[in-house]
Amino acid sequence: MTDDNVYEMNQRSPKEVKKYIKIGVSILGLLAIIVLALSSMFVVKEGEYKVVRQFGEVIRYESDPGLKFRVPILHSVTTLPNKKLVYDVTEKEINTLDKKRMIIDNFSVWRITNPALMISNARTQMNAESRMGEFIISVIRSELGTMNYDEIINDEGSTRGSLNDRVTDRVNQLLARDEYGIEVIDVQIKRTDLPDENEQSVYNRMISERESKAQEYLSQGEAEKNRIQAQTDRDVQEMLSVADAQAAEIRAEGEREAASMYNETFQQDEEFYQLYRTLESYKTTIDGETTIILPSNSPYAELLTGYVE
């Protein structure tokens, strides 16, 4: 204060001084009440928990959005997520049933179901994730340890179909046993790799197996082709035999009909028949180089000269 103010105060009566003091105290008290009221309130937002602790111990937690209250100084408030979270589990090396080494990389989708239990037993979200990751690796190592390498990497015909579900169920059982207040929604294996020193040898073996399988398919195809071809040849031969038999039968029937017609025709003119028979015999006895000496009274000479004794 300046000297003038001090002088002015000294000039005031004790009654006025008390009045000013009361006003100041009232203002300070009002400010203190406002500060206490503001510090006793906290807001719960959508997708989060507010955990109220007293001397480090959880006394309650709030999950419904809105304005909430606490005892200032005595109570502290911690915020935790109330939504699905993704945790990328550190990749680990495991051994399969057939003694192959593999590197497994996976992730999990999880959430906090009971913040009080999580803080009481895991203390922090980071610790909860760490424990969850340890359980996941342990269960995956146990599950894949009962499977051969080929079953794991080959989705077709393998038992891996329900692996993720089995791992999820088993991890949740372990988390519930230790009361961590969290739940795993899903566990997914992102990648299954081989250690660098084993990768090339496995690739070579896989190529060899595929080539062997391809050769087996080719051999089976060749055998099937030969079987079909042999069956076709037999069918064709049977068809030709049947056709030849039918043709022979038809020819025989035609020859019988022709002979019958010849007989009917030759019976009508015996002289023509004799001429026809003689001419037919020429086909077998005379060719381009044949020299024939005939008596004048032979049937051939008579027919050729047209003179008959």
Which of 65-79, 251-265, 266-280 has the lowest average pLDDT?
A: 266-280
pLDDT over threshold 70, residue 231: yes
Residue 92 shares a structural domain with residue 143: yes
Give the pLDDT mean for 293-303.
68
Q: What is the 3-state secondary structure (H, E, C) of 100-151?
A: CEEEEEEEEEEEECCHHHHHHHCCCHHHHHHHHHHHHHHHHHHHHCCCCHHH
Give the pLDDT mean for 192-200.
66
pLDDT score, position 139 = 92
Residue 118 shares a structural domain with residue 151: yes
pLDDT score, position 7 = 46
- Taking the C-alpha atoms of residue 97 and residue 143, their distance in angstroms, rounded to an integer, is 10
Give the pLDDT mean for 36-56.
84
The reply to whether 6 falls in a domain is yes
pLDDT over threshold 60, residue 84: yes
Give the pLDDT mean for 298-302.
67
Residue 70 shares a structural domain with residue 159: no
Domain stops at, among 174, 193, 212? 193
CB 157 within 8 A of CB 180: no
> Does the predicted model carry a pTM greater than 0.85?
no
The reply to whether 233 falls in a domain is no
| Phi then psi dihedrals of residue 238, to 5 deg | -65, -40
Q: Name the more confident of 177 and 192.
A: 177
pLDDT above 90 as % of the chain = 22
Domain range holding 297? 270-305
Confidence grade of residue 287 (pLDDT, cut at 50, 70, 90): low
170-185 pLDDT, tens digit per residue, is 999 999 999 999 999 9
pLDDT over threshold 90, residue 304: no
pLDDT score, position 99 = 80
Domain stops at, among 193, 214, 243? 193
Residue 111 shares a structural domain with residue 181: yes
pLDDT score, position 300 = 65
Give the pLDDT mean for 32-41.
71
